[in-house]
Chain A
Amino acid sequence: MLTATVPTVGKQARRHMRFVIIGAGQAAAQAVATLASEGFSGSLTVAGDEAYPPYQRPPLSKAYMAGDFIRERLFLKPESFYAESHCELRLGVTAAAIDRAGRTVTLSDGNVLSYDRLLFATGARVRKLPCPGADLPGVYYLRGIDDSDALHQHLVAGKRLAVVGGGYIGLEVGAVARKYGLQVTVVEALDRLMARSASPQISEFYRKLHESHGVDVRFGQAAEAIEGKSWVEAVATGQGRIPADVVVAGIGVVPNCELALAAGLPCDNGIIVDEFGATADPDIFAAGDCTNHVSFHGKRVRLESVQNAIDQAKHAALAMLGKPVPYREVPWFWSDQYDIKLQIAGLVQPGDTAVVRGDASSRKFSVFHLRDGIVAGVEAVNAAPDYIVGRKLIAAHARVAPERIVDTAVPAKQLG
């Protein structure tokens, strides 16, 4: 049963309302856009810890890092957008404390903002390597523009790059580095690439892809120490020593929910929100990477994606205005590595039945995942039609016979 989490706010009252958004990433920008398009005319403040207005993160490990994309193109909205949306951007400040009873946010610069509705769009931060030597110069992570700029400086042919963690970020950086002629070694603790989110079939395709591009991929090895005197010299794993001039660690992210936790809001691998984006406090909402939410399949998840940031922020913004609509969109992701585009829709779970459509050796295929015969996920490699059709089938909880999926004589459009 759907229930409104907040009373509808009258037009007159809304004009005088004060909304505060903590965080200035993709979700924050979308919330501002949705509030503006809904005619919100109260006061709106976005406080972000980076020096930049909201920007796209995906290109940071792809085209922007490769130098194919100037910085200005990263910004999600022109500056005029914020002014016209009556939104004040406060950049370079963090939120230090929230007083829920008094409904105020204290910023790191000492300013205190009153709010009627508050949105956490605090995102996530990189997980740091826990091993000795991890703080040596030459060890990089990738989350923001400055990280990408710093790494770009090391894209010099012949340099040795060690990537710790065989996930999307590390692999995308590895692919860019190969383009620049670096020697690349990927160290992954598990036995396959992108193990947390991709199926074994996709992992295997990407192992072969990276190896065919000259990347040395090593499984079952974790970084036990980063060695070097004044600059990184090697990554020591249980199985040996990988000499390196630069190290990039992409071992996941940690949701930024400390502030919410300190304010007494329930958190469990993310700020717990309902299907409208509301936290346990009806005046406080959250959207994007920082949330633990119920996804379209009815289970709680925390997602790190543009899609989730955009869609959840739309729903949270509507709920802040007292117009709650449940968030039910099918999650989707993409990754660009070399000339291969991976597009994923839905959420694959252990126990799902994988049905491969097409031939991986043709570098154009997809893996459909069926749960009790119903399409639950699709991973498409250079196969956009399969991805789009898959996304629709997932949303419709459609049942498709495996024999039809594997039959490439049946056009993707006719799978539905």
Chain B
Amino acid sequence: MPKITYIEQNGKERTVEVPVGWSVMEGAVKNRVPGIDADCGGACACATCHVYVDPSWLAKLPQRQEMEEQMLDFAQDVRSNSRLSCQIKVSAALDGLIVRTPRTQH
């Protein structure tokens, strides 16, 4: 199972196994990683699962789709490596992915 590392704002790191096909958001929620609210359950409807992807992984991720791009425009402190974690599907190629959670989702 691919391993994903979540790093909180305070520097706390957690590496968890997430099944292929699940989203990076689900990996966080199911493993109780704080800082990812995901109120809508992954429907790209709430923009409360914002993460920063480690720059070394950016090129390996599929591009943002239009809906994600639009929702992100309203998240706090958006950077070039910002993504909605519900829209990142875990695959074998993402084994080792590192994401950081933002200060706030609202």
Segment at the B interface, from A73-81, A91-99, A117-125, A233-241: A73-81
Q: How far is the CA of A307 from the CA of B26 in the complex (A)?
A: 18
Determine if B73 and A413 form an interchain contact, defined as CB atoms under 8 angstroms apart: yes
Q: How far is the CA of A384 from the CA of B45 in the complex (A)?
A: 8
Determine if A78 and B32 form an interchain contact, defined as CB atoms under 8 angstroms apart: yes
1/0 contact string of B26-50 vs chain A (CB within 8 Å)? 1001111000000111011111000
Determine if B32 and A306 form an interchain contact, defined as CB atoms under 8 angstroms apart: no
Q: How far is the CA of A285 from the CA of B71 in the complex (A)?
A: 34
1/0 contact string of A381-397 vs chain B (CB within 8 Å)? 01011001100000000
Determine if B47 and A388 form an interchain contact, defined as CB atoms under 8 angstroms apart: yes
Nearest opposing residue in chain B for A37, CB measure: B34
1/0 contact string of A44-85 vs chain B (CB within 8 Å)? 000000000000101100000000000001011110110010
Within 350-408 of A, Cβ neighbours of B (below 8 Å) are at 382, 384-385, 388-389
Q: Residues of B contacting A78 with CB < 8 Å?
A: 30-32
Interface assignment of B63: CB less than 8 Å from any CB of chain A: no
Determine if B30 and A341 form an interchain contact, defined as CB atoms under 8 angstroms apart: no
Interface assignment of A185: CB less than 8 Å from any CB of chain B: no
Interface assignment of B78: CB less than 8 Å from any CB of chain A: no
Chain A: minimal CB distance from B62 (Å): 17
Interface assignment of B104: CB less than 8 Å from any CB of chain A: no
Given contacts A59-B41, A343-B45, contact A384 B70 (CB under 8 A): yes
Determine if B41 and A56 form an interchain contact, defined as CB atoms under 8 angstroms apart: yes
Q: Residues of B contacting A388 with CB < 8 Å?
A: 47, 71, 74
On chain B, which size bracket covers the interface? Answer: 10 to 19
Q: Residues of B contacting A413 with CB < 8 Å?
A: 73-74
Interface assignment of A310: CB less than 8 Å from any CB of chain B: yes
Nearest opposing residue in chain B for A343, CB measure: B45
Chain B: minimal CB distance from A71 (Å): 13
Determine if A73 and B22 form an interchain contact, defined as CB atoms under 8 angstroms apart: yes
Q: How far is the CA of A94 from the CA of B43 in the complex (A)?
A: 31
Residue contacts A-B, CB under 8 angstroms, 27 given: A56-B41, A58-B40, A77-B29, A77-B30, A77-B32, A78-B31, A78-B32, A84-B32, A306-B41, A310-B39, A332-B45, A332-B46, A334-B45, A336-B43, A341-B43, A382-B67, A384-B44, A384-B67, A384-B71, A385-B73, A385-B74, A388-B47, A388-B71, A388-B74, A389-B74, A413-B73, A413-B74
